[in-house]
């Protein structure tokens, strides 16, 4: 649209917007500023356009931040699909996981983490992934990893503490599948350093494990004992049981083979 189609001059000599009726100019008070008597001003349409632009750039910035944080968080992109929206929310533990996110500020303030334990294939990693994705959407920095990856990453590094300190900086750290990693003195030393540094940072830690809670509580090997003591200090145990997803799929396949 040409300017003369949207702007007209009023009886006061100022330009007016034909669309919203507001003035697009105003007089300087006290007879002018330097040689000028009038200055331009935004009409309602201009303000609306400006707000829309601001919103567009803010949304774009938010999307970019979340997608950058998400790609840092996960080692595998399929984990980005692990969300409460895609989950069975009738599941009691899933519900607790959602409530952990809903009360995130309080969890953070009180340094409360979770220890999701239970048999293989019951969806513990999935639950932790749902928490991660939901918090990422709230612009929280999250890292979900496991000790095999950490130990492999750290091995060639000259400055191992730098890596361990970086893990302590994420607002939430999730260590998946504790207990499957190598049992060497070296590995257990790294695991202790990561857990200890994290706990001293005061930021929450979430762990998933196939180890039975009884075993975690009664471990006698000193190198493991001090790791588990730290974890139990900060992470509320939550049992993830029910029918294993893999068992459910297997029994469905069995059912198909039965004659009707
Ligand atoms: Zn206007």
Q: What is the pLDDT of residue 91?
A: 86
Taking the centre of ligand 1 as the mean of its atom positions, its distance from the CA of residue 41, in whole angstroms, is 10
Q: What's the CA-to-centroid distance between 62 and ligand 1, angstroms?
A: 30
Q: Quote the CA–CA distance of 164 and 195 in Å, as a whole number.
A: 9
User: 11 by DSSP, 3-state: which?
Assistant: coil
Supply the pLDDT for residue 258.
40
83-138 tens-digit pLDDT: 999 998 888 899 999 999 999 999 999 999 999 999 998 899 999 999 999 999 99
Q: 46 C-alpha to center of ligand 1: Å?
A: 6
Distance 47 CA to ligand 1 centre (A): 8
Could you tell me the distance, in angstroms and rounded to a whole number, from the CA of residue 10 to the centre of ligand 1? Answer: 14
Whether the Cβ atoms of residue 102 and residue 93 lie closer than 8 Å to each other? no
What is the spatial distance between Cα 247 and Cα 60, in angstroms, rounded to a whole number? Answer: 43
pLDDT at 257: 45
CA 169-158-190 angle, to 5 degrees, is 60
For the stretch 5-42, pLDDT in tens is: 899 999 999 999 999 999 999 998 876 667 778 899 99
Query: How many whole angstroms from 61 Cα to the centroid of ligand 1?
Result: 28
Spatial distance between the Cα atoms of 140 and 163, rounded to a whole number of angstroms: 20
Residue 49 Cα to ligand 1 midpoint, Å, equals 10
Q: Give 231-245 pLDDT, tens digit per residue.
A: 999 999 999 986 555
Task: Tell me how far CA of residue 217 lies from CA of 174, 178, 213, 236, in angstroms.
Answer: 20, 14, 6, 13
Mean pLDDT of 170-178: 97
* Torsion (CA) 124, 139, 148, 225 in degrees, nearest 10: -70
Candidate CATH numbers 3.10.20.740, 3.40.50.300, 3.30.930.10, 3.30.830.10; the one for domain 76-247: 3.40.50.300
The 8-class DSSP code of residue 113 comes to E
CA of 29 to the centre of ligand 1 (A): 23
Q: How far is the CA of 37 from the centre of ligand 1 (A)?
A: 22
Between the CA of 13 and the centroid of ligand 1 the distance, in Å, is: 17
Ligand 1 centroid from CA 12, angstroms? 17
Query: Is the pLDDT score of 252 beyond 60?
Result: no
pLDDT of residue 30: 76
Write out the DSSP string of 203-223.
--EEEEESS-HHHHHH---HH
Question: In sequence order, what are the residues at sequence separation of 6 or more whose Cβ sits closer than 8 angstroms to the Cβ of residue 167?
Answer: 143, 145, 150, 173, 194, 197, 198
Which residue's structure tokens are 């590094």?
157
The domain spans of the chain are 12-73, 76-247
* pLDDT of res. 35: 74
Instruction: Compute the distance between CA of residue 227 and CA of residue 175 in angstroms, rounded to an integer.
Output: 13
Distance (angstroms) between ligand 1 centre and the Cα of 258 equals 73
């Amino acid at each position: 649209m040409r300017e003369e189609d949207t702007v007209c001059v009023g009886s006061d000599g100022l330009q007016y917007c034909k669309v919203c009726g507001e003035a697009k100019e105003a007089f300087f008070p006290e007879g002018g500023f330097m040689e000028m008597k009038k200055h331009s001003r935004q009409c309602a349409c201009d303000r609306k356009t400006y707000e829309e632009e601001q919103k567009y750039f803010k949304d774009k910035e938010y999307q970019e931040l979340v997608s950058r944080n998400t790609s840092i968080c996960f080692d595998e992109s399929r984990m980005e699909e692990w969300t409460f929206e895609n989950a069975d929310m009738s599941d009691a533990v899933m519900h607790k996981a959602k409530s952990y996110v809903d009360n995130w500020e309080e969890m953070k303030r009180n340094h409360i983490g979770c220890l999701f334990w239970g048999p293989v294939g019951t969806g513990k990693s999935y639950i932790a992934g749902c928490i991660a994705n939901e918090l990422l959407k709230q612009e929280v920095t999250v890292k979900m990893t496991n000790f095999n990856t950490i130990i492999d990453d750290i091995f060639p590094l000259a400055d191992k503490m730098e890596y361990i300190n970086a893990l302590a900086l994420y607002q939430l750290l999730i260590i998946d599948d504790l207990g499957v990693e190598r049992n060497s003195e070296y590995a257990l030393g790294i695991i202790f350093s990561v857990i200890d540094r994290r706990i001293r940072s005061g930021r929450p830690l979430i762990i998933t494990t196939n180890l039975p809670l009884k075993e975690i509580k009664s471990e006698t090997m000193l190198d493991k004992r001090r790791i588990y003591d730290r974890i139990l200090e900060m992470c509320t145990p939550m049992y993830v049981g029910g029918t294993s997803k893999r068992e459910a799929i297997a029994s469905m396949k069995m059912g198909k083979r039965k004659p009707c």
